[in-house]
Amino acid sequence: MVNRCGYCAILGRPNVGKSTLLNRLVGQKLAITSHKPQTTRHSILGIKTLDQGQAVFVDTPGIHLRGDQPMNRYLNRTARSAGTDVDLILFLVVAPDWTPEDEAVLETVGRGGAPVILLVNKVDQLRSKDLLLPYLAESADRYGFEEIIPISATKGDNLEQVEKAVITRLPEGKNIFPDDQLTDRSERFLAAELIREQLTRRFAKEIPYALTVEIEQFEEDGGLHRIAAIIWVERPGQRTIIIGKKGEALKAVGTQARLGMEALFGRKVFLKLWVKVRKSWSSDEQALARLGYKN
């Protein structure tokens, strides 16, 4: 049997379901999710090993048109660079809309030169199924896609077809990673992301973009992980919101993040959280780099 292996970037505008798709494809929660656009801030590999070979999926931030701030520029650079030097691209859109940001993603994938499969996500949420066929036809006229597949990443609809479409288009070669490896990211990185996921979900209306998480301590102590993290915000009022009355909001964030870590790491976790203020960190290139936002 021919073994195939290669890299497959998942690209799209914000909030089209890229991270949900990655988690579904690899069968493990690796990328954090929320209903807030731009939850994903870093590219992350999800490794799927099959009998036919290995697909290395690259989850990316959403490509967007609000590129005037350092954080926004970082997100776009990260996503666009992930679309180069890959063997295949999965381009996610949501019917029945085609937005200027979708067009920006299409320009990016066109410059990359890799084959592109268009995935039309969230078809289970279409208000009328009659909208789907015209949308698929219009999409086929936009670009020379290898294939167009309607899916629901949340429900898992048609993902076996996606898996087959990917593995058959990857180049022949030996597997890049060990068969039991799921990602290139460290547990330290994943811990920070799980904390930020809970913060983004809980404070989606107040401060989703003005916070980040820095791991200060990550130690293994027998069957226990001891983790300490700083939640950075930009204003004292944001710190007050996250801590909450008598610390209840911060405690709830810590509890849910800890449970997520224990499920992912397969061991008990002792988690400490602090909230600190660093004014305008998301607009400071040097602060961004120090906090891990590096291309």
Q: DSSP assignment of 248-285, as one string?
A: HHHHHHHHHHHHHHHHHHSSEEEEEEEEEE-TTGGG-H
Residue 208 has pLDDT above 70, yes or no: no
Residue 104, pLDDT score = 93
Q: What is the mean pLDDT of residues 38-65?
A: 92
Percent of the chain surpassing pLDDT 70: 99
| For residues 131-137, average pLDDT | 94
Domain parsing of the chain, residue ranges: 4-167, 187-290
Model pLDDT, residue 32:
86
> Which position has the token pair 């999965």?
90
DSSP 17-81: SHHHHHHHHHTS--S---SSTT---S-EEEEEEETTEEEEEEE-PPP-S---SHHHHHHHHHHHH
SS (H, E, C) 105-159: HHHHHHHHCCCEEEEEECHHHCCCHHHHHHHHHHHHHHCCCCEEEECECCCCECH
Would you state the pLDDT for residue 113?
Answer: 86
* pLDDT tens-digit readout, 160-199: 999 999 999 999 999 999 999 999 999 999 999 999 999 9
What is the mean pLDDT of the segment spanning 7-36?
Answer: 92
Domain 187-290, what fold?
Answer: GMP Synthetase; Chain A, domain 3 (3.30.300)
Does position 68 have pLDDT exceeding 90, yes or no? no
Mean pLDDT of the chain: 92
- CA distances (Å), origin 287, targets 82, 229, 239, 279: 23, 17, 18, 10
Report the distance separating Cα 152 and Cα 226, nearest Å.
37
Chain centroid, CA 269 distance in Å: 24
Q: How confident is the model at residue 71 (pLDDT cuts 50, 70, 90)?
A: confident
Range from 122-131, 148-157, 238-247 carrying the lowest mean pLDDT: 122-131
Buried/exposed 111-142: b ≥16 CB within 10 Å, e otherwise: ebebbbbbbbbbbeebeeeeeeeebbeebeee
pTM over 0.85: yes
Percent of the chain clearing pLDDT 90 (strictly above): 73
Quote the pLDDT of residue 72.
84
CATH superfamily of the domain spanning 4-167: P-loop containing nucleotide triphosphate hydrolases (3.40.50.300)
Contacts of residue 204, Cβ cutoff 8 Å, sequence gap at least 6:
34, 35, 36
